[in-house]
Amino acid sequence: MKPVHTHVYRLLRAICISPLQFFEEAPMEMAVESWCYIFDARPDLELLLINEILLAWKKTVEQEMGLFSLDVPEDNPLAADEDSILEPRPPNVADHDIWIYFFLERIALAKYQSQDCMGHFAEMLHDCLSLDIGRQNHISRHPAACGTRFDFQFFTTSFNVASIHLTFQAKSISLNSTNSRSGLASKM
């Protein structure tokens, strides 16, 4: 494993955080392409890069961006007056769509390769999905965010299935090892 210098950390962080400055589709697509290139070129940086990507995701939760933005109250078109603004104010969820599809690809790979990577995703889901009763739900309920909400729900379900697969795989390896040892012990 190659040593990782501080300039590599700073470069990874810049690549992961930069799409948040504009929060539009084109910069996010370029960032995802950059992430995929880094994964292919430097597999030894996988966990560092995943960690930085998930920190950027967490930043969108904290700053209430995109899928995690607060719903802006809209005027009722049936009770409109002269001062009413009768236009929809949907959240910009396109970036989170791109991100979720990227996460789905990473989960598909991580369930066969990296339990540490799965741990990072579990921590990210724990951070952005609150189970506190009475706490404001951070996920937008605007109708324009409905598709992204379902994609995110699909991602969480896929993550759970991948976690079960990884757990089952680890247990079956352990069982096979135990059976082999008991077989060897019985032959002695």
Is the Cβ–Cβ distance between 46 and 117 less than 8 Å?
A: yes
Listed by start position, the domains of the chain span 6-70+89-177
pLDDT score at 183: 42
Contacts of 141 (CB under 8 A, 6+ apart): 71, 149
Give the pLDDT means over successive 10-residue stretches in the chain (188 positions). 75 92 92 94 91 93 88 71 74 92 90 81 83 64 89 90 73 48 40
pLDDT, residue 165, reads 73
Please state the φ and ψ torsions of residue 5, each to the nearest 5 degrees: -95, 165
Q: Hey, how many other C-beta atoms are within 10 angstroms of the C-beta on 152?
A: 22
d(CA 167, CA 183): 24
Report CA 106 to chain centroid distance, whole Å: 9
Identify the pLDDT of residue 172.
Answer: 56
Q: What does the pLDDT read at residue 135?
A: 53
d(CA 59, CA 48): 17
Helix 46-62 and helix 94-113: axis angle, to 10°? 150
